[in-house]
Amino acid sequence: MKYNSKCPFCTKPNDEIIVQNHYAKAFFDTKPANPGHVLVVPKEHVRTIFNCSAIQILAIRKLVLKVKHFLDKNFHPGGYQIGMNCYPVGGQSVLHAHVHIIPRYRGQKRRQIFPTDKSKLWKNADEYNNPDVWKNGNTVKEAWQKEFKVMDKLRAKGEKVTYMSHYFHTFR
C-alpha cells in the first residue's frame, strides 16, 4: 500500500477517524465549510479519484453512505453537498483523493459555485491555466471552443443539445 509521510491524509491519527473500512477512512475536515464537514479518503496514497481502483471507489462510496447516516443522527442537516476536486487547477489543495461531504442546513443560502462576474471568471481561469500545473495544453477558452464544435456536430445530426458555456461566456 502506498503511503506518503508528508501527506496530512496518510498521517491522520487513528483517534480522529470517524469510520473506516479496509480501503478507506473518514474524518472531519480541518477547515470545514459547515459544521459536520467530513472527508472520505482512500487509505492508500492515491492522487485523485481518477487513479483509484474499483475496489477503492466502492469502499469510498460505502463510507459516504455511513457518514451520511452519522451526520443525520448527530448534526440533523437538511441536505448535503458532496464533491471532489481533482488536480490543482480543479481546486484540489491536498494531492490525495478525497470526497467532501458538506452538510447543508435549513435557512442557509445555497453556496455559489460559479462567479457572477464573468470577467473575473476568465481572468482567473487564464491565470490557472499555467502549463507547469496543467499539462493538458488547452486554455479554458480553447476548451469551450472545442465544446462548440462537438455540439455543432451533434446538432447537425438532429440532437437537441445545450451549450454549458452559454451560462458563462460566449466566444462567437
Say if pTM beats, i.e. exceeds, 0.75. no
Q: With 90 as the cut, is the pLDDT of residue 25 above it?
A: yes
Asked if 98 is an active-site residue, the reply is yes
User: Which residue, among 142, 51, 36, 37, has the nearest Cα to 95 in the 3D structure?
Assistant: 51
Which DSSP string do the residues of 37-89 spell out, in sequence order? -EEEEESS--SSGGG--HHHHHHHHHHHHHHHHHHHHHT--SEEEEE---TGG
How far apart CA 4 and CA 45 sit, in angstroms, is 6
Fold of the domain built from segment(s) 14-104 = HIT family, subunit A (3.30.428)
Looking at the chain, the whole-number percentage of residues with pLDDT higher than 70 is 67
Catalytic residue among 96, 98, 100, 169: 98
pLDDT at 145: 61
| Domain spans in the chain, listed from the N-terminal domain onward | 14-104, 118-167
